[in-house]
Structure 1
Amino acid sequence: MAVTYIVYHVLRVFVLVFILLDVCSASFSMAVTSSSTTDTVLIVVDQSGQGDYKTIQDAINAVASNNSELIYIWIKPGTYREKIVVPADKPFITLSGTEASNTIITWNDGGDIFNSPTLSVMASDFVARYLTIQNTFGMSGKAIALRVAGDRAALYGCRILSYQDTLLDDSGRHYYYNCYIEGATDFICGNAASLFESCHLHSLATTFGTITAQHRNSPFENTGFIFVGCKITGMGDGTVLGRPWGSCSRVIFAHTFMSNVISPEGWRGWDDPSKERSKRVGWSRELSHDESAPFLNKSMIGGRSWLRPTPTHFKKHLPRPIEDGGN
């Protein structure tokens, strides 16, 4: 296993590319998904009763299985105390607030990483916009705020909050833009192929903190976490960029500002002394333009074939309320 750390400067902007256990070079597969040209179905969730549903889960439940239409669930401001699942047979759903600061999905659960998430996304072609997704379980153990296990998922302007294992970026190809992700231990973990662009990562750890725990176990897996144009802040000075959950873990940081919260060694092993390094300076070198280019755009996740714009035309074509059985 090879560990590579790369640091360079461009136009006085601090740029860091950090490759964690980059065992081999592998290209991310491309998927071709035709975008719909039809109007999007609008469903409104409002706790006051002025919408189509009072809870987010009820709105999701109302979507037909094996759905093929674009569904836009607009969530009016409020704090929604729900444990939510977007099932695998309900693709093409968007959950959108107006501002993350006033549209909050919250739950309090811990222990198992697959059962504790506040929001679990199992479906493909999912989008979330302007939401706060949080797990308030605290410092007592694993507590997932968001699990993303469907392919082709995108999140914009969301706040994802917990302490340990905040974001289980489980599997599939994902895109995170302008999101705020907060935690202390392995707070971005999993084995997805994901691009994080212009995101803010904040460590709550005062002494020992780890941002990522990527779970790639084979050089033939086209997975990894790529952070481009991000910012890292924190409360202490002992946080590292990551530790290898898998034997072939791959994590890349580029064009990223790092405050002094990041410890000089950069990363730590997973209770394996052979993976420990005292300083990353010895592995530093300057990347050429050609070397860095493949990591700095959406081609890594095939995003140009499936990322879709915000809909501008809606149609009111609602399924019947779930208590009517759709009849």
Structure 2
Amino acid sequence: MLKGKLLCDAFNSLRTSASSIVDFATTKVGEFGSSACTDHQYGCEYNPLCDDFPPDFPPPDTPAVSVFCVDPNGCCDFRTVQAAVNAVPNHSRKRNVVWINKGVYFEKVTVPASKPNITFQGQGFDITAIAWNDTAKSANGTFYSASVSVFASGFVAKNISFIVTVKMLHNNVAPIPRPGAVDAQAVAIRINGDQAAFWGCGFFGAQDTLHDDRGRHYFKECFIQGSIDFIFGDARSLYENCRLISIADPLPSGQRSITGSVTAHARVSEDDNTGYSFVKCSIGGTGWIWLGRAWRPYSRVVFAYTSMSDIIASEGWNDWNDPSRDQYASFNASVDSYLHKRKTVFYGEYKCTGDGANLADRVPYAQKLSDVQVLPYLNTSFIDGDQWLKPYCDSLISA
């Protein structure tokens, strides 16, 4: 039955490496993705593959929530995620939960702007995944390479992974690029709609994994893997208790050349209120990487209470090798009234820990934030969460 309750902190066992989802994706495609539908529950003949299907799903619709059930073996109304999305009524005001059974769904999925208020609910980010293998070259541009593209407002995802760099069917693979590689970018998900939230999700890629593009977004207890600019875009987003794992090329002992970066924020004006805030996250993995680089002149990123391993380069940040991006400019009075002037980019750190958190050799335009400076970035008020976030928790189904 449908159980609406707060599940904001429901995901309690994030994996510490990408190996489990890689192994899962490469071994389970055949197991879960090849059988013909003979479902006992949806009018087909008996199929033993459906015996493990939860007997109480899909739960009944309610006045507030509609449920669309997806299973790769045909034990549901839909075999593909895109088919379920297509079935959601346009411009629906209800919460439409796309309940996705365990399996790898090798498909390119789009949630158009005409289908707001959709939830993707998986069964665990290490056993439920949507994967595709486009790159910037094959898709005619980085923005179009995404395995999943979300243009609708009010999107929610829970306990599911979005993948681009897993060897899948027919040996297709999006390669791990080296710094400076041309057309090798590959996006796991592009989020272009406002008010999107993710709980316990996985994002697996290399260069440009998570296109956090436009709108206000929230990420809680997620696992984000990549190498170069693996969180990029011009959204206003809060990341809480997330694991950020670099798979950038490891360096031989004693060498210190940059092989990756966590963020590339694209704020273009001091009047824009966009930026990324990372609170109580952790950064680990391989390589020698920056916390961020200024994709656009007013890039804004803050790390607070975050554990940083020794893969973080001592300088911490990069201005895209363009000194004009770290010049003084006036603050936006509505956002940054506590100071009179600042650098064009806004890169701040506050009470971070670990070998990579030493501020002694940071670039001069990076800021050690004060208690007052960091305050706007520490909680969901940064993304106006009091206006929209809590009802999303109430609409999730117990899994």
User: Out of 179, 183, 187, which is 1:144 matched to?
Assistant: 187
Q: Which amino acid aligns with 1:197?
A: E
SS at match of 1:100: coil
2:8 is aligned to: none
Distance 1:231 1:124 in 2: 28
User: Out of 304, 311, 315, which is 1:261 matched to?
Assistant: 311
1:217 is aligned to: 268
Distance 2:379 2:176 in 1: 35
Q: Does 1:42 align with 2:79?
A: no
Q: 1:285 to 1:189 in 2, by over 3 A?
A: closer
Quick check: 2:297–2:325 contact (8 Å CA) kept in 1? Answer: no
Q: How far off its partner does 1:278 sit?
A: 9.8
Q: How far off its partner does 1:272 sit?
A: 2.3
Q: 1:286 to 1:60 in 2, by over 3 A?
A: closer
Quick check: 1:40–1:313 contact (8 Å CA) kept in 2? Answer: no
Superposed, 1:188-267 pairs within 5 Å as 188-206=231-249, 207-236=258-287, 238-267=288-317
Moved more, 283-292 or 186-195: 283-292
1:122 is aligned to: 151
Q: 1:67 to 1:253 in 2, by over 3 A?
A: same
SS at match of 2:232: strand
Q: How far off its partner does 1:139 sit?
A: 2.3
User: Out of 76, 89, 105, which is 1:51 matched to?
Assistant: 76
Distance 2:151 2:268 in 1: 22
Which structure carries more helix by proportion?
2
Q: Does 1:187 align with 2:237?
A: no
Q: Does 1:62 align with 2:87?
A: yes
SS at match of 1:242: strand
TM-score (norm. length: structure 2): 0.66
2:383 is aligned to: 301
Larger relative contact order, structure 1 or 2 (CA cutoff 8 Å, min sep 6) = 1
Distance 1:188 1:116 in 2: 15
Which structure carries more strand by proportion?
1
TM-score (norm. length: structure 1): 0.80
SS at match of 1:300: helix
Distance 1:215 1:49 in 2: 42
Q: How far off its partner does 1:47 sit?
A: 0.9
2:207 is aligned to: 164
Distance 2:91 2:159 in 1: 26
SS at match of 1:309: helix
2:110 is aligned to: 85
Quick check: 1:213–1:245 contact (8 Å CA) kept in 2? Answer: yes
Moved more, 264-273 or 164-173: 264-273
Q: Does 1:178 align with 2:227?
A: no
Q: How far off its partner does 1:280 sit?
A: 1.1
Q: Which amino acid aligns with 2:162?
A: I
Quick check: 1:138–1:162 contact (8 Å CA) kept in 2? Answer: no
1:98 is aligned to: 123
Structure 1: stretches of 5+ with no match in the other structure: 1-36, 315-327
Distance 2:92 2:118 in 1: 9
Quick check: 2:116–2:155 contact (8 Å CA) kept in 1? Answer: yes
User: Out of 72, 93, 100, which is 1:75 matched to?
Assistant: 100
Q: How far off its partner does 1:58 sit?
A: 0.1
Q: 1:99 to 1:200 in 2, by over 3 A?
A: same
Q: Which amino acid aligns with 2:210?
A: L
Distance 1:124 1:89 in 2: 9
Q: How far off its partner does 1:273 sit?
A: 5.3
Q: How far off its partner does 1:279 sit?
A: 2.5
Structure 2: stretches of 5+ with no match in the other structure: 1-61, 166-173, 178-183, 250-257, 327-358
Cα distance per residue 1:114-137 (max 9 Å; x no partner): 210000000000000011100121
User: How many residue pairs get matched?
Assistant: 277
Q: 1:134 to 1:294 in 2, by over 3 A?
A: same
Q: 1:96 to 1:109 in 2, by over 3 A?
A: same
Distance 1:262 1:285 in 2: 16
